[in-house]
Chain A
Amino acid sequence: MKPTDIAAPDYFHKVVDCQWACPAHTPVPEYIRLIAQGRYSDAYMINWKSNVFPGILGRTCDRPCEPACRRGRVEENPVAICRLKRVAADFKDDIRQRLPKPGPKNGKRVALVGGGPASLTVARDLAPLGYHCTVFDADPEAGGMMRTQIPKFRLPNSVIDEETGYILNLGVEFKGGHRIDSMKALLAEKYDAIFVGSGAPRGRELELPGRKEAAANIHIGIEWLANVSFGHVDKIGKRVIVLGGGNTAMDCCRTARRLGGEKVTVVVRSGFDEMKASPWEKEDAIHEDIPILNYMVPVAFKHVAGKLIGVTFQHVKAEYDAKGRRNLVPSGDPDQTIPCDDVLVAVGQENAFPWIEQDCGIEFDKWHMPKVDPKTFASTNPKVFFGGDAAFGPKNIIWAVAHGHDAALSIHKMLSGEAVDERPLPEVQISSQKMGIHEWSYDNDISPDKRYKVPHRDKVVALKDIRAEVELGYDVKLALGEAHRCLNCDVQTVFSTSLCIECDACADICPMDCITFTANGEESDLRQRLKAPSAHPDQDLYVSSDLKTGRVMVKDEDVCLHCGLCAERCPTGAWDMQKYFIEMTHAGSTCPTKSRSAA
């Protein structure tokens, strides 16, 4: 193999698995260290810069970082990254002085359709640069799906108000209760750029026999959740069936439990393990006495004289064809009818752009989705950009934020007369953490603790009040324990070939057997000759150039604890622990400048 080019920004970025997996590339280990130091405001600001909604995401994020977390490959559970983010939000001081100020107006106007996370991120990035941002939303308050679809017992209004407020206070104009019905009309208002962040607002229908007749008691999940959120709906029947296996279904069933649903059942077509809902959301639902029945396909709504009395299901089983594709085929068991008073349909969401006229210069593909550049988020109309669920269909908040940053950068470049498709490199800093012979400026003593559970409100109390937040968040002590579980993957092991005397000290001390000195070879061959088996080929090998004896140093990044023992036991300083800080380039920092980061 060729010697690893550690100067390429992606190499060390990939080692920080959580940050690499995060769509917004939040510097996770950096803010976890700040939490451990009690510097909650600093931790919050790092998050705020990167993911805009730390308090909201700390409660609701889909956390792609956690399955990626290296700790999950070392022991059973990853670090509770998401809930530590909430800790930063919960315990911070008043940070308003640290937020950017509205910049002097540059005379350019940007319209943002939809007041959800994508649009608000664009506004956050552009307003301080002097753009006049106008956010339109059909709802009276900002937040979009974060406010309408996520139940208050998971995300209180106060958190949404606070974090959307930080953005609106940057001089962003918010036009609530103002639905945009025509793109053409909007274009006619001569905005310099338009960003569409209108989400995936339509809940998918389930056209089955009885749907029309029993319509009074069959509700579309996201619409019903929005009605609950605005107080238009405050009760439901005692027996409720929720159809669907995603996070919306989990929110529906748990909300139903709080509005009078005594016997709430979730029914999914596929297997329990293949459900789209996050594992922790399934756990929370089960904890609230909601059974989840699987491999049952709804075939009809049963009704008597227009009154829903139940849903009939066919039992199925999974069969795999020669290509490994799964098919659900009838299992042969007789159909089953589950009696109920109400049904909540949460079988998916769809995009809908009836308000975009065909002659706006915005092309759509055969799935009726706008043609959007995945890098620049530009549509075929150079003035119109898309982001969030509106761009590529339903995802989640953190993706919407990432889209928003990229779209804001595109808009800024376009309106500054720069090429939109030339994307600036991220800003990277790397610095040694060595303080003394065996002293590092980070805590390298690996905590053996298991993942700490987040305290929950007592179930009886929680089920009585739909606005009582179920998760109470870590207290300071629990947060400290959990923060210590972080392996500091951003403190990189950096190897200098010229200093190595091949004494084997690093290979001997490494608790994870990551380091091997051996003859060079092709990657597949080298992976066979490592001290410990290489279980994850997607994890890189760090290969040195030729050493004095003709061998090379090979380090499997896979399960490195970043404990720094290789560097402590190295007599010549050939190994060093260097903190690698990478920040994505947002609008306004197109030319990376040196800025100090917290230690």
Chain B
Amino acid sequence: MTYIAKPKFHHPGLKKNALGYTHRDYEGKISTLCAGCGHDSITASIIEACYELSIEPHRVAKISGIGCSSKTPDYFLGNSHGFNSVHGRMPSVLTGANLANRDLIYLGVSGDGDSASIGFGQFAHSIRRGVNMTYIVENNGVYGLTKGQFSATADRGSKSKKGVTNTDNAIDLVAIALQLGATFVARSFSGDKSQLVPLIAAAIGHKGASFIDVISPCIAFNNHAGSTKSFDYVREHNDAVNRLDVLVGRDPIAVDYAPGTVQVVEQHDGSKIALRKIDADYDPHDRLGAQTFLARHAAKGQIVTGLLYVDPEAEDLHEHLNTVETPLNALEADTLCPGSAVLDKINASLR
């Protein structure tokens, strides 16, 4: 880890966003992860996406569990709310926070151990309920903090750093998220920011459960020949179905792709996603098609990346439960606790 603080000086020509912030203003503390960790690139991508969206840092709640990935919220959005929860319990804490205050932007940051092992059930239920959040899994296929054992997302047949072959089947979190009804599902790669940054920006704009699986090579324990989560392997087997640009507000990005290959998806918050198709047959609005596509390519050893599924008309948990629109902390005491007369009335209605 680096012992010095990152210098406060920044490039004098840095552009400022609508709030007058540079991307440096969205940073947190200096990373304590190993040098070259893919997670640091995801951190940089989150910073870039929040900067581009001109998000006010105090409107974001970043919530994580335990693990290398779950340490990363300390490294971005230093002026946001944060909660570092128990191992695997990020989805529950996030769900609770979201129910209490729907006005914040919820960033759930987790890893393959946190979400595919100890927190697998938590992950499933938060997705199933349609919590309005951006759930990012920083997926490196190993338990890095405990020196490189296979995690539940390690592919069968892949080799550990010591040369042991993995005999267990892998959990594909993207496939599970699709099956559980996530309304925004994507996969990307920490080594491809041009794809990852707009995906994160689009996910933040999506209302409903957004899930992004980011393959993030572990330099220390999973970046060798025989690994299926190494920089080289992912670059060789990356099969991107599309690339996208997020168009925010009044600044449309000039898209000069050949006509017919760009698909514009309008989101709830008014932003637009311009999807440039790479695979002409791929339809990101077809959940079933996506599942089949994914399974077929996985069997060929290919890693499908891009925006795999999006439902622009999605609903979230608050709509399902018909909850009050005002965050609980903004409600007056007599609204929150209307007194014994109201309680009697409710009790009477249940008799």
Judged by a CB distance under 8 angstroms, whether B4 is at the interface is yes
Contact status of A438 and B1, CB under 8 A, knowing A532-B13, A535-B13, A570-B35: yes
CA distance A508 to B231 in the complex (A): 16
Using A513-B14, A565-B2, A571-B35 as known contacts, list a sample of 20 further A-B pairs with CB atoms less than 8 Å apart, ordered by residue number in A: A445-B4, A501-B223, A502-B191, A502-B231, A503-B38, A504-B41, A504-B44, A504-B190, A505-B41, A508-B40, A508-B41, A508-B44, A509-B30, A509-B40, A511-B24, A559-B11, A559-B12, A563-B7, A568-B2, A568-B35
Interface residues of A in 418-451 (CB under 8 A from B): 438, 444-446, 448
Q: 1/0 per position for A528-550, CB-CB distance to B under 8 A? A: 00001101000000000000110
Judged by a CB distance under 8 angstroms, whether B126 is at the interface is no
Contacting residue for B11 out of A438, A509, A513, CB 8 A: A513
Q: Are the C-beta atoms of B10 and A533 separated by less than 8 Å?
A: no
B7 touches A508 (CB 8 A): no
The docked-state distance in angstroms from the alpha carbon of A477 to that of B14 is 34
Interface 0/1 of A107-119, CB less than 8 Å to B: 0000000000000
Tell me which residues across on chain A come within 8 A of B217, comparing CB atoms: 503
Instruction: Assess whether B36 is in contact with A501, with CB atoms less than 8 Å apart.
Output: yes
In chain B, what residue has the closest Cβ to A513?
B11
Q: List 9 A-B contacts (CB under 8 A).
A: A74-B9, A438-B2, A446-B9, A502-B191, A504-B193, A511-B6, A511-B9, A513-B11, A533-B13
A501 contacts which chain B residues (CB < 8 A)?
A: 36, 223, 231-232
Chain B residues with Cβ below 8 Å from A504 are 40-41, 44, 190-191, 193
Distance between Cα atoms of A24 and B219 in the complex (Å)? 46
Please, how many angstroms separate the alpha-carbon atoms of A445 and B40 in the complex?
A: 21
Q: In the complex, how many angstroms separate the beta carbon of A239 from the nearest chain B beta carbon?
A: 46
Q: In the complex, what residue of chain B is closest to A534 when comparing beta carbons?
A: B13
In the complex, per-residue mask of A547-571: 1 if CB is within 8 Å of any chain B CB, else 0:
0110000000001010101001111
Question: Are B7 and A561 touching (Cβ within 8 A)?
Answer: yes
A569 touches B12 (CB 8 A): no
B9 touches A73 (CB 8 A): no
Q: Mark B168-208, 1 if CB is under 8 A from A, else 0.
A: 00000000000000000000001101000000000000000
B residues in contact with A505, CB < 8 Å = 35-37, 40-41
Cα-based distance from A285 to B210 in the complex (angstroms): 67
Binary CB contact string for chain B from 57 to 99 against chain A (1 if under 8 A, 0 otherwise): 0000000000000000000000000000000000000000000
A568–B223 Cα distance when bound, in Å, is: 19
B13: which A residues are within 8 A, CB to CB? 532-533, 535
Per-position binary interface string of chain A over residues 308-319, scored 1 when its CB falls under 8 Å from any chain B CB and 0 otherwise: 000000000000
With an 8 A cutoff between CB atoms, is B34 at the interface?
Answer: yes
Which residues of chain B come closer than 8 Å to A74, judged between CB atoms?
9, 12
Residues facing B in A481-536 (CB within 8 A) are 501-505, 507-509, 511-514, 532-533, 535
Is there an interface contact between B34 and A571, defined as CB atoms closer than 8 Å? Answer: yes
Give the residue name and chain of the A residue nearest to B36 (CB): A571
A184 and B39 CA atoms in complex are apart in Å by 79
Binding site for A on B (CB under 8 A): 1-15, 24, 30-31, 34-38, 40-41, 43-44, 190-191, 193, 217, 219, 223, 231-232, 235
- Residues of B within 8 Å of A559, CB to CB, are 11-12
Whole-angstrom CA separation of A563 from B10 in the bound complex: 12
**Taking the complex as formed, is A572 at the interface, i.e. its CB lies under 8 A from any CB of chain B?**
yes
Complexed CA–CA distance, A569 and B43 (Å)? 14
* Chain A: CB-nearest residue to B223: A501
Interface presence of A75 (CB below 8 A): yes
CA–CA, A533 to B12, complex, Å? Answer: 9
CB-defined contacts of B219 to chain A, threshold 8 Å: 503, 571
Chain B residues whose CB sits within 8 angstroms of the CB of A508 once the complex forms: 40-41, 43-44
Are B8 and A448 neighbours in the complex by a CB distance under 8 Å? yes
State whether A503 touches B231 (Cβ < 8 A): yes
* Inter-subunit contact B40/A448 (CB<8 Å): no
* Chain B residues with CB under 8 A of A561: 7, 9
Chain A residues, CB < 8 A from B40 = 504-505, 508-509, 569
The reply to whether B34 and A563 contact each other, CB–CB distance below 8 Å, is no
Q: Is the CB–CB distance between B36 and A570 below 8 Å?
A: yes
**CB within 8 Å of B: which of A458-488?**
none
Contacts of A444 in B (CB 8 A): 4
Residues of B within 8 A of A507 (CB): 44
Q: Are B41 and A503 in contact (CB under 8 A)?
A: yes
Nearest-Cβ distance from residue B269 to partner chain A, whole angstroms = 27
Contacts of A514 in B (CB 8 A): 11
- Distance (Å) between the CB of B151 and the closest chain A CB? 20
A502 to B191, CA, bound (A): 7
Closest B residue by C-beta to A531: B11
**What separation, in Å, do the CA atoms of A444 and B3 have in the docked complex?**
10
Instruction: Tell me whether A509 and B6 are in contact (CB under 8 A).
Output: yes
Is the Cβ of B9 less than 8 Å from the Cβ of A503?
no
The winner among B2, B31, B37 for most chain A CB atoms within 10 A is B2
Please measure, in the bound complex, the distance between the C-alpha atom of A570 and the C-alpha atom of B40, giving whole angstroms: 12
Cβ-defined partner of A532 (8 Å) among B2, B14, B34 = B14
Most A CB contacts (10 A, CB to CB) among B1, B4, B9, B11 go to B11
Determine which residue in A73, A448, A501, A570 has the highest number of CB atoms from chain B within 10 A of its CB, and name it: A501
- Within the assembled complex, what's the spacing in Å between the Cα atoms of A75 and B13? 12
Complex interface: chain A residues within 8 A of B10 (CB): 511-513
Which residues on the B side are within 8 Å of A448 (C-beta)? 7-9
In the complex, what distance in Å separates the CA atom of A116 from the CA atom of B36?
57
Chain A nearest CB: distance from B320 CB in Å?
A: 39
Distance from B139 Cβ to chain A, minimum over Cβ atoms (Å): 16
Contact A563–B231 (Cβ < 8 Å):
no
User: Which A residues are CB-close (under 8 A) to B36?
Assistant: 501, 503, 505, 569-572
CA distance A568 to B32 in the complex (A): 11
Q: Report the bound CA distance from A73 to B9 in whole Å.
A: 11
Q: Which residues of A contact B5 (CB under 8 A)?
A: 445
- When chains A and B are docked, how far (Å) is the Cα of A559 from the Cα of B9? 10
- Distance of B44 from chain A, by nearest CB (Å): 4
Once bound together, how far apart are the Cα atoms of A504 and B45, in whole Å?
Answer: 11
Find chain B residues with CB under 8 A from A535 CB. Answer: 12-13
Determine the distance from Cα of A499 to Cα of B219 in the docked complex, in whole angstroms: 14
- Minimum CB–CB distance for A9 against chain B, Å: 28
Contact assessment for A512 and B41 in the assembled complex, using a CB-CB cutoff below 8 Å: no
Which one of A502, A509, A511, A549 has the greatest number of beta carbons of chain B within 10 Å?
A: A511
Contacts of B30 in A (CB 8 A): 509
A446 lies within 8 A of B43 (CB): no
Question: What separation, in Å, do the CA atoms of A508 and B190 have in the docked complex?
Answer: 12
A322 to B134, CA, bound (A): 60
Given contacts A445-B4, A504-B193, A508-B41, contact A73 B12 (CB under 8 A): yes
Residues of A within 8 A of B37 (CB): 503, 505, 571
What is the distance, in angstroms, from B93's C-beta to the closest C-beta of chain A?
Answer: 28
Q: A563 touching B4 by the CB < 8 A rule?
A: yes
Closest to B6 in A: A511
Smallest Cβ-Cβ distance to B9: which chain A residue: A74
The reply to whether B35 and A512 form a contact with Cβ atoms under 8 Å apart is no
Docked-complex contact B9 and A512, CB < 8 angstroms: yes
Quick one: which of A75, A445, A509, A569 contacts B9, CB cutoff 8 A? A75
What distance in Å separates the Cβ of A415 from its nearest Cβ neighbour in chain B? 51
Chain B residues, CB < 8 A from A533: 11, 13, 15
B residues in contact with A570, CB < 8 Å: 35-36
Q: How far is it, in angstroms, between the C-alpha of A570 and the C-alpha of B2 when the chains are bound?
A: 11
The 10 nearest A-B residue pairs measured at CB: A571-B36, A532-B11, A446-B7, A533-B13, A508-B44, A445-B4, A503-B36, A571-B35, A571-B219, A505-B36
Complex Cα gap A156–B232 (Å): 67
A572 to B230, CA, bound (A): 14
Chain A residues within 8 Å of B9, by CB: 74-75, 446, 448, 511-512, 561
